[in-house]
Structures are given as structure tokens and as C-alpha cells.
């Protein structure tokens, strides 16, 4: 009887540690590994890579077709030639939902156009409709401003 109790105690402790470890690692990735500037590191990853599979799982992405994944968590992934080419993040979109993680380059939804340009520099492309692009060494950030405020951010491989 005592041996059985010890075994059950060990099993319960092992299960608790596993659940706790899973909880903390999932939270850690949700805050640092799958948002902010780390999103850029996924650009160029192969469709079958572990990293891209983890990204899709983190945001519960569903396949629209072989090159297009959608999520109600405000994330859209676009592939080109089986490589992740673009990541789009949406604020309160009826189609894509609401991205609540950190945006790349210290951007935040609702930020005025002037603040976006102060953070990212002079855009290489800018239109009167609120769309602008900013070029960095290995990627491009595109911003859509509605009513003069940031409401969509995209990152694309160069």
C-alpha cells in the first residue's frame, strides 16, 4: 500500500511538473518568441520547418491554401516558393481578428503616423491612402494607417 502511494505521489508530481513547464514555456514563447522583433526571424523559413510549424500552432493558423495561412489572432502568413515571405498583423480586423502581441520595431496599434515615421525613419514608399513601407537590411515593414493611426503591420523578406 505504501509503495503504491509513493508511486502515485511520484506520478502526480511528474504530471504537475510537466504541466507547469508546458505552461511557462508556452507563455514565454507567446511573449517573446512569436512576436515583436523576433517575428522577422521567421521570414524565409521553409513551409515544413519546425519554426514555421511552431509559429502556425502558436497563433492557431488555418490553411486557406498552400501559400496562405489565416488566424483569428490577427495574424496572416503568406508563403512564396514554399518559404515564409510575409507576415501581416491586424488590429481589430473582422476577418483576421486582433493581434495582441508586441509589434516589430516598438510599433503599437493606434500610434499616429508621425510617431511611426519617427521610429522607422523615412519611408521608401508612401501613398496618400495611408500605406507606407520602410526598408531594413533584410526585410521590409509595411504600415497601413487608418484615420492617421496605425492599424496593420506587415513584414516581408527582401
Residue range 126-147: mean pLDDT, rounded: 96
Contact 74, 98 (CB under 8 A): yes
Q: How far apart are CA 121 and CA 108, in angstroms?
A: 16
- 77-88 tens-digit pLDDT: 999 999 999 999
Domain segments of the chain as ranges:
36-157
Residues in contact with 59: Cβ distance below 8 Å, sequence separation at least 6, in sequence order: 34, 71, 73, 75
- CATH: 3.20.20.80, 3.40.50.300, 3.40.33.10, 3.90.1260.10. Which one for 36-157? 3.40.33.10
Residue range 19-36: mean pLDDT, rounded: 47
Amino acid at each position: 500500500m505504501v509503495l503504491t502511494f509513493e508511486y502515485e505521489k511520484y506520478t502526480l508530481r511528474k504530471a504537475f511538473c510537466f504541466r507547469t513547464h508546458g505552461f511557462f514555456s508556452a507563455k514565454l514563447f507567446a511573449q517573446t518568441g512569436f512576436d515583436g522583433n523576433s517575428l522577422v526571424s521567421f521570414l524565409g523559413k521553409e513551409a515544413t520547418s519546425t519554426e514555421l510549424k511552431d509559429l502556425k500552432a502558436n497563433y492557431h493558423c488555418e490553411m486557406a491554401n498552400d501559400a496562405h495561412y489565416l488566424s483569428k489572432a490577427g495574424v496572416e502568413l503568406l508563403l512564396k516558393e514554399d518559404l515564409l515571405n510575409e507576415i501581416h498583423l491586424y488590429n481589430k480586423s473582422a476577418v483576421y481578428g486582433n493581434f495582441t502581441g508586441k509589434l516589430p520595431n516598438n510599433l503599437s496599434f493606434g500610434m499616429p503616423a508621425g510617431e511611426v515615421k519617427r521610429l522607422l525613419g523615412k519611408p521608401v514608399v508612401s501613398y496618400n491612402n495611408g500605406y507606407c513601407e520602410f526598408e531594413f537590411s533584410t526585410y521590409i515593414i509595411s504600415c497601413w494607417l487608418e484615420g492617421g493611426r496605425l492599424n496593420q503591420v506587415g513584414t516581408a523578406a527582401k
